[in-house]
Amino acid sequence: MRIIRSKKEMSAISRQIRRQEKTLGFVPTMGALHQGHLSLIQRAREETDFLVVSIFLNPIQFGPEEDFKRYPRVFKRDARLCRREGADVVFYPKADDMYPADFKTSVSVSELSQVLCGRFRPGHFQGVATVVAKLFNIVSPDIAYFGQKDAQQAIIIKKMAWDLNMPVKIKFVSTVRQNDGLALSSRNIYLKPKERKDATVLYQALNLARHLIKQGNVSARDIVRRMKQLINKKKTAVVQYISIVDLKDLRPVDKIKGKVLIALAVWVGKTRLIDNIIVNV
Ligand code: AMP
């Protein structure tokens, strides 16, 4: 496995792989890898000939009050895990190379970026789309893998690739959870023991929604209300939003039918956690 820091070198490797007519799989990450990231890596490893994992803590997707400074940085450990999982290249660019002082361009996917998390994190998805577009141009993958854990992000990237005719296939990978249901996240390490226990309520609320829908309840409003009630029982938890939206356009639905995304963001102590499920009615 090679660790590549230069964009030029990364592109040269990619060109070489294409000349050999091998398929190139790509998993973009911000590092602090856990089993969620590894499931993307494993899937890519199985499905493609040459595997690139990028580790880049993207400054432009963090708001001024967000956790960019304290986000865990554990590159050596991440590189070890990538090697163990059979990655061919870890692409680890420097922030100054990705964003030189005269950097001026951004990619924004309208509407999809303004709803759900976008309402509370202005500029976030523009930062994500911009960095992923750059990474796609540098790495030129055939297939790129994204987690359902960040469903809105994955949907936005797929739309960007489609709208801008990027020759890359976007694949979604299911959310990996701990035994008690908490979705794995690099941010879970911020949780204090009591908060960690309370954090299971996110998935419990999603399961409650699934259960209510199965029983025939189609009122998004009623389901959201009952989810809120459940979450509010935990002292450390404060709901930021709970939304039930159409999976395609992320528009809110009143009556649940077809494929819906049930998504939420909850502050647990000082940590903002997100989770979601897709329900097909
Ligand atoms: P991040 O490093 O947080 O930017 O995440 C990199 C990729 O890993 C994204 O596509 C995420 O959706 C995905 N990911 C993060 N957590 C999980 C999880 N628990 N299960 C599956 N995929 C995940």
| Residues in CB range of 211: below 8 A, 6 or more apart | none
Which atom of ligand 1 lies nearest, measured to the CA of 37? 8
* Count of beta carbons in the 10 Å neighbourhood of residue 276: 21
- Residue 199 is predicted with a pLDDT of 98
User: What distance in Å separates the CA atoms of residue 144 and residue 180, rounded to the nearest whole number?
Assistant: 29
Does domain 2-173 fall into CATH 3.90.780.10? Answer: no
**Closest residue (by CA) to atom 8 of ligand 1?**
37
- Residue 93 is predicted with a pLDDT of 98
Q: Is the CB of 276 under 6 A from ligand 1?
A: no
- Residue 250 is predicted with a pLDDT of 98
Closest by CA to 151, choosing from 270, 264, 29, 25, is 264
Number of helices (H) and strands (E) in the chain: give both, helices first: 10, 9
Q: How far is the CA of 151 from the centre of ligand 1 (A)?
A: 10
List the chain domain ranges: 2-173, 186-280
Known catalytic membership, residue 124: no
For residue 153 the two structure tokens come to 């992000």
User: What distance in Å separates the CA atoms of residue 156 and residue 124, rounded to the nearest whole number?
Assistant: 12
Between CA 251 and CA 175, with CA 64 as vertex, the angle to 5 degrees is 45
pLDDT tens for the chain, 281 residues: list them.
999 999 999 999 999 999 999 999 999 999 999 999 999 999 999 999 999 999 999 999 999 999 999 999 999 999 999 999 999 999 999 999 999 999 999 999 999 999 999 999 999 999 999 999 999 999 999 999 999 999 999 999 999 999 999 999 999 999 999 999 999 999 999 999 999 999 999 999 999 999 999 999 999 999 999 999 999 999 999 999 999 999 999 999 999 999 999 999 999 999 999 999 999 99
- Residue 25 is predicted with a pLDDT of 99
User: What distance in Å separates the CA atoms of residue 2 and residue 138, rounded to the nearest whole number?
Assistant: 16
pLDDT in tens, 117-155: 999 999 999 999 999 999 999 999 999 999 999 999 999
- Residue 55 is predicted with a pLDDT of 98
Q: How far is the CA of 216 from the centre of ligand 1 (A)?
A: 32
Phi then psi for residue 135, to 5 deg, are: -65, -40
CA 38 remoteness from chain centre: 13
Which atom of ligand 1 lies nearest, measured to the CA of 40? 22
User: What distance in Å separates the CA atoms of residue 25 and residue 27, rounded to the nearest whole number?
Assistant: 7
Residues in the chain: 281
**CATH class given for the domain over 186-280:** alpha beta
- Sheet hosting strand 271-280, strand order edge to edge: 237-246, 259-268, 271-280
